Amino acid sequence: MSEPVQTPPTFPRRIFSGIQPSGGLTLGNYLGALKRFVEKQDEGIETIYCLVDMHAITVWQDPVKLRQQTREAAAGFIAAGIDPRRSILFNQSQVTAHVELAWIFNCIARMGWMSRMTQFKDKAGKNSENVSLGLFAYPSLMAADIMAYKATDVPVGEDQKQHLELCRDIAIKFNNDYKVDYFPIVEPLIEGVATRVMSLRDGTKKMSKSDPSDQSRINLTDDADMIANKIRKAKTDTDPLPDSVEGLKDRPEARNLVNIYAALADLAPAKVIQDFAGAQFGTFKPALAELAVAKLSPITGEMTRLMKDPAEIDRILGKGADQADAIARPIVDKVYDIVGMIRSRQV
C-alpha cells in the first residue's frame, strides 16, 4: 500500500526584501531590486521592505555615515515609489525578532553550508581568518529576516540566489528537526532583464556600491551631468550595435548598456536592438544618457527633498518597525516555544 500523500500547508503569500545601507543606492540596486519592489505593491500581496543595517555592519561602517546612509536609502525607497502607507518600510535593527531568530538559525545551519557561499568567499578573499564572524553568519541572519515574517516571495537580483537557496535549506532543516511544518519554503523572484547590472568599467563585474571606482556605477544621488558623463565614458568595444540580441553574446559591455536601456524603458532588449541596429556607441550612449537622466532625476530630486527632513524619515521607519514587530513577534515567540525555551516572564 502506498503512503498517504501529505499535503503541505499553504502559507499566505507575503513579499519581503532588503537592501544594505552600506553605501549609496546604485542603478543596480534600482533596476535589480527597488524598481521591482515598487511594482510588487500593486499585486495585492503584503509587501515588507527592510534596510538591513545589521547586515551592513558585518564589514566596518562609520557610525555617523551608517545613520546617514540608512536615512538616504529610506529616502531613495520612498522617492522611487515605495509608499509607506502600502508597504512596511523599516530598518532591521529596530525589530529585534530578526536577531532572535538568527541565533536559532545559527544553530540549524551547518558550517559547511556557510563556507560554500560565494558572496562570503568574494568578500573575505584571501583574508578569511580576519573577517568578522558576522560576515560568515550573514546568510543565517538573511534567512531570519525572511522567516520572521514567514515570507513566501523574495524579489532580489541574481547575486542573492545562493543565499535564498540556503534560506530554503535552513527552513527545511528546521521543519525536519522539530517535526513541524512551521516555515514556508521561499520562492526567489529573480525577474526581468536587469537582474545583474554590470560595472560601467568592466562588463564582467557586477555594478556595486563597494567598488572603489565611482565611475563604475551610477548612484541614485548622481546629478544629470554625472550620469551623462559616466555613460559617455563607459567602457565599450568599437563595433556598432548588432541587429539581433544574439550578436551581443560575447560583448559584455554592449550587452550591459542595452539591458540597462531596456530595463529603464520597460522594453525587451530585442526591441532596443531593433531600434538601434547598426548604431555606433556615439549615437547609443547619448540616447541612453538622456533616458537615464529622464528616469532617475525625478527620483534624485525627491530624495534630496526628503533628506531635508530626517526626523520625518525616522518617524516613517519607526512606524514601519512597529508594524513589522507586530507580525514578527508572535512568529518568533512560537519558534522559541517549538525549540523548548521557557518563556515565563510577566509583561
Q: Which residue is nearest to ligand TRP (CB)?
A: 18
Site for ligand TRP contains 245 (CB under 6 A): no
* DSSP secondary structure of 61-122: --HHHHHHHHHHHHHHHHHHT--TTTEEEEEGGG-THHHHHHHHHHTTS-HHHHHT-HHHHH
Which three three-digit cell numbers place residue 327? Answer: 507580525
Q: Active site includes 126?
A: no
Scanning residues 100 to 159, which ones bind ligand TRP (CB under 6 A)? 142, 145-146, 154, 156
Start-to-end C-alpha separation, the chain: 52
| Partner whose footprint covers residue 37, from ligand AMP, ligand TRP, none (CB < 5 to 8 Å by kind) | none
Q: Active site includes 319?
A: no
Q: CA–CA distance from 229 to each of 184, 186, 191, 201 (Å)?
A: 46, 40, 29, 13
Instruction: Choose the stretch contacting ligand TRP; rule: CB under 6 A; options: 10-18, 58-66, 208-216, 274-282.
Output: 10-18
Of residues 198 and 231, the one with the C-beta less far from ligand TRP: 198
* DSSP secondary structure of 146-213: HHTTT--EEE--GGGHHHHHHHHHHHHHHHHHTT---SPPPEEE--SS-SSPBPSS-TTSB--TT-S-
- Residues contributing to the site for ligand AMP (CB under 6 A): 19-20, 28-29, 32-33, 156-157, 159-160, 194-197, 206-207, 209
User: Least distance in Å: CB of 309 to ligand AMP?
Assistant: 25
Q: Active site includes 209?
A: yes
Site for ligand TRP contains 20 (CB under 6 A): yes
User: Least distance in Å: CB of 32 to ligand AMP?
Assistant: 2
Mark residues 31-60: x for contact with ligand TRP by CB under 6 A, - for none: ---------------------x--x-----
User: Least distance in Å: CB of 137 to ligand TRP?
Assistant: 12
Shortest CA distance to 151 belongs to which of 138, 161, 135, 164? 164
Site for ligand TRP contains 171 (CB under 6 A): no
Which three three-digit cell numbers place residue 40? Answer: 510588487
Contact criterion met (CB below 8 Å) for 257 and 288: yes
User: Least distance in Å: CB of 36 to ligand AMP?
Assistant: 9
Radius of gyration of the chain (CA): 21
User: Least distance in Å: CB of 187 to ligand TRP?
Assistant: 12
Q: Could you tell me how many residues of this chain bind ligand TRP (CB under 6 A)? A: 14
Which three three-digit cell numbers place residue 114? Answer: 556557510
Pairing of strands 153-155, 87-91: unpaired
Coil/strand/helix, residue 255: helix
Among 70, 160, 195, 219, binds ligand TRP (CB under 6 A): 160
Binding residues for ligand TRP (CB under 6 A):
16-20, 52, 55, 142, 145-146, 154, 156, 160, 163
Catalytic residue IDs: 123, 206, 209
